[in-house]
Amino acid sequence: MPGIDQVRKVKLWKNYIARFREAFLFFFLNNFLLKITPYWVRQGFMKKILGYKIGNDTSIAMHCFFTGYDIKIGNNTVINRYCYIDGRGPLYIGNNVNISHYTIIHTLTHITNSPFFHAQQRPVAIMDHAWIGARAIILPGVTVGEGAVVAAGAIVNRDVPPYAIVSGNPAKVVGERTRDLRYTTRYFPFFDTDIQ
């Protein structure tokens, strides 16, 4: 009969192997698939291997960085180059959403006053027809309402009302967007360019 130490070592080894496999999947996605493969290959991997829910005609550009498994993306959504997409907590991105390059979306944070720096998941939702400007940062626990616009460089630390335009750090409402949004986003540029 194996001793307690041996059972413990086996459990630790199995845990290590599982974590190594998970790390390798994301390393492979972020450092190979999202750098040189066509849309259907990288998004197929995300759906079949990582279990992401990704809608029809959604475009995930090269050079993004994905982490975590809890990601749902609707139809006709664009995630442009060099975005950081965090699915370690629940992340929902709706239909016809435009996420501009270098955007950061976080669903995991640390509790500031925790003596042990505990992590905390807080869901993020970006609703239909929202437009996130370049280099915006969406912090954990935020909902960006339907049709809302987050200006370039804004840092969003609280919910954005539907059809509001927000700007600044922290982001504040600076205007209102039309509610008559009829467009369907379809953006599949060739390679790592803006040419389609």
Tell me whether residue 110 is one of the annotated catalytic residues: yes
Residues 75, 183: Cα–Cα separation, whole Å: 12
Could you tell me if 116 and 97 are in contact, meaning their C-beta atoms sit under 8 angstroms apart?
no
Q: Which residues contact 55 (CB under 8 A, 6 or more apart)?
A: 73, 74, 75, 76, 77, 95
Bridge partners (DSSP) listed for residue 66: 85
Write b or e for each residue in 97-114: b if 16 or more Cβ atoms lie within 10 A of its Cβ, otherwise e: bbbbbbbbbbbbbeeeee
Provide the token pair at 53. Answer: 């829910």
Active-site residue, from 63, 110, 118, 129: 110
Residues noted as catalytic = 110
